[in-house]
A and B are shown apart, each in its own frame.
Chain A
């Protein structure tokens, strides 16, 4: 038992699990009703499950999907993509442009949603490829390369719709970001589950995970082993583009509209945080996908908990920062080593005394 606990503590996934446990305990002690799930009615009058846990699962969906792509990018290129928020604005804008047509409003969608979705996937993957080419072939540091789209992205999104705010009044479009009639769980939860399942299948049945870790750990030696680092890096950025498209789709479907300067603001920071909370080294190399995904849920759990205690949404970042600092300090190798050492000396002192 002791041995097992020890080995768990040294596992990477321990950090997000511990954070999750701490948050759960905190809520259990403060107010157990936090975890209550009730069957209520939503604003359309359909029966749906409501409760904080459902809110967490629902709102974390975009973050989980982005964390998947961000983990791969971090692993292969040793840097982070800071343009995902702007990318979501572009993807959403493309989507609405196709569904609304040039008028800017639509009572019935002007094209099948699947067509618009595919188009926004293609556009997002192209932007991902743009980032990827800068990183892989021009060898520009990822944060700097993606700074370009970070700066221009929201402007491009506004330009695609000629700076109008398109609105879709068709209720069927809102299904993807809210509830499908007759289903008691919000749709984004299912979309996130599909994405998580897809990435685990990809990691299990292809060499993607192995290759991106190899490239991240040492590009030269992976090159000598017949892997082209540039191609692998490019693929991870294109995959992140796909994730951005899905997240953008959910985002616009939630409100059936878009606000270029506000949509998915600062989500890139949260996505990177999810990767870091998962204990993945931000300098590239080995990664643990499950830990990243858990990290994303931890962030949303924290946000929802803070909201429950009436923390103002603008003041939220300060509390988040304190929690993040505590978590990263506790998970820092230097600190862990010190704790381990002091525990060991305590134990040996005890042993000496007993003897």
Chain B
């Protein structure tokens, strides 16, 4: 047992891929600073990336969870749109307040999670098909709830949306020589709490280790006494609840309801998880990596748009190229490692 451990070397697959992700993120940010000027050195630039992507971070965390169990949930993007639209309609037309909106968002997430989790874990239907139906359902429901985009005028919500959390010690002096403190939106704090919470759950709880176990090999997991069905159910429930939370965070950021909100967010979440070193085959992944995955993805988008290549197609092509490079690196690294292990 000990010998095998020594032979295997210090880094597990998860940690190796995590290391690559973090190194690449810092390299990329350094390149951005070097070539695109000092704008990227301002703390606010970095915090803006966080502000814009708080919801995506939460969605990606949920996505990583189900990907670690070897499944997938492609309904999170349209679920976000559904949550936004429902909350917006509740606040503006149905006379709800912010508290009920939060409960509505959570409720939608929980209901979704229970149905999808039950179908996938207990009826053994392929997760792709179930969440595909979930994607369609949320997409259709969003337009049934309300077909057009509108901004929320609820005063209580507007006050919530305007909250800024100032980061102590960070800030910059603007052109007029006035010191402007750096700020984040409340959504970022929620996202960070989610990241830390999930990190702890995945690392030190029975449930979290169960996710890795059933992702690695379901049969041996069930032989170890893990309740595979319940663990799977929990993963999908958590993912949908996180999509509900992410939906509300997104809603706080944009302050409107629209059927086209968060379009393609599920693919961005999958891409971030992959860049963060989570593998779709299951058993390998890390929440911290996912966090850096989101940051890398949005940094490269920022770089492309600030390079003056404003045609929208360039962003997509660079993001795709980046996913491609990451996949190739992962594939090569793992192959080399497998060869070393054989020797």
Name A residues whose Cβ lies closer than 8 Å to a Cβ of B.
Answer: 80, 134, 138-141, 143-145, 147-152, 154-156, 158-159, 163, 269, 272-273, 276, 282-283, 312, 314-322, 324-325, 328-329, 332-335
Contact = CB atoms under 8 A, between A and B. Distances in A.
Given A144-B280, A325-B119, A269 B136 contact: yes
B232 to A, nearest CB: 14
B320 interface: yes
A318 B128 contact: no
B267 interface: yes
Interface in B89-139: 119, 122-126, 128-130, 132-137, 139
A141 B281 CA distance: 7
Contact of B323 (A147, A163, A322): A147
B317 interface: yes
Contacts of B122: 334
Interface stretch (B56-64, B287-295, B307-315): B307-315
A334 B140 contact: no
A328 B312 CA distance: 38
Nearest to B334: A139
Contacts of B193: none
B291 to A, nearest CB: 19
A321 to B, nearest CB: 4
A134 B325 CA distance: 11
Interface string B21-34: 00000000000000
Contacts of A141: 279-281
A297 B140 CA distance: 21
Given A147-B323, A269-B135, A282-B128, A312 B123 contact: no
Contacts, number: 132
Contacts of A320: 133, 136, 140
Closest 4 CB pairs of A and B: A318-B140, A155-B313, A152-B320, A321-B137
Nearest to A338: B123
A203 to B, nearest CB: 24
A324 to B, nearest CB: 5
B324 interface: yes
B246 interface: no
B143 A315 contact: yes
Given A317-B139, A325-B133, 20 more contacts: A134-B327, A140-B331, A141-B279, A143-B72, A147-B274, A147-B323, A148-B321, A152-B316, A152-B317, A152-B319, A152-B320, A155-B316, A158-B313, A163-B313, A276-B129, A314-B143, A315-B144, A318-B137, A318-B139, A320-B140
A318 B85 CA distance: 15
Interface residues of B, number: 47
A314 B140 contact: yes
B257 to A, nearest CB: 14
A35 to B, nearest CB: 26
Contact of A151 (B143, B267, B279): B267
28 contacts: A138-B332, A143-B72, A143-B280, A144-B270, A147-B270, A147-B271, A148-B321, A148-B324, A152-B316, A156-B313, A159-B313, A163-B311, A269-B136, A276-B126, A312-B143, A314-B143, A317-B135, A318-B139, A318-B141, A320-B136, A321-B134, A321-B136, A321-B137, A321-B140, A324-B133, A328-B133, A329-B119, A332-B125
B259 interface: yes
Contact of A150 (B123, B137, B267): B267
A316 B140 contact: yes
Contact of A149 (B124, B311, B312, B320): B320
Interface of B: 72, 119, 122-126, 128-130, 132-137, 139-141, 143-144, 147, 259, 267, 270-271, 274, 279-281, 311-317, 319-321, 323-324, 327-328, 331-332, 335
Nearest to B313: A155
A309 to B, nearest CB: 14
A282 B126 contact: yes
Contacts of A324: 129, 132-133, 136
A327 to B, nearest CB: 9
B126 A156 contact: no
Contacts of B134: 321
**Chain B interface mostly:** helix
Contacts of A145: 327
Interface-central residue, A80, A147, A282, by most chain B CB under 10 Å: A147
**Chain A interface mostly:** helix
Contacts of B143: 312, 314-315
A317 B319 CA distance: 28
A314 B81 CA distance: 14
Contacts of B271: 147, 151
Nearest to A79: B280
Contacts of B313: 154-156, 158-159, 163
Nearest to B141: A318
Contact of B133 (A150, A159, A321): A321
Interface-central residue, B140, B317, B331, by most chain A CB under 10 Å: B140
Contacts of A163: 311, 313
Given A138-B328, A321-B140, A329 B317 contact: no
Contact of A148 (B124, B139, B315, B323): B323
Contacts of B270: 144, 147
A114 to B, nearest CB: 29
A151 B267 CA distance: 8
A251 B139 CA distance: 24
Contacts of B119: 325, 328-329
B243 to A, nearest CB: 16
B316 A154 contact: yes
Contacts of A158: 313
A140 B317 CA distance: 19
B274 to A, nearest CB: 6
A144 B277 CA distance: 12
Given A329-B125, A334-B124, A151 B323 contact: yes
Nearest to B268: A151
A334 B285 CA distance: 30
Nearest to A140: B327
Contact of A272 (B128, B267, B281): B128
Contacts of A328: 119, 125, 129-130, 133
Nearest to A268: B132
B320 A148 contact: yes
Interface-central residue, B133, B141, B280, B321, by most chain A CB under 10 Å: B133
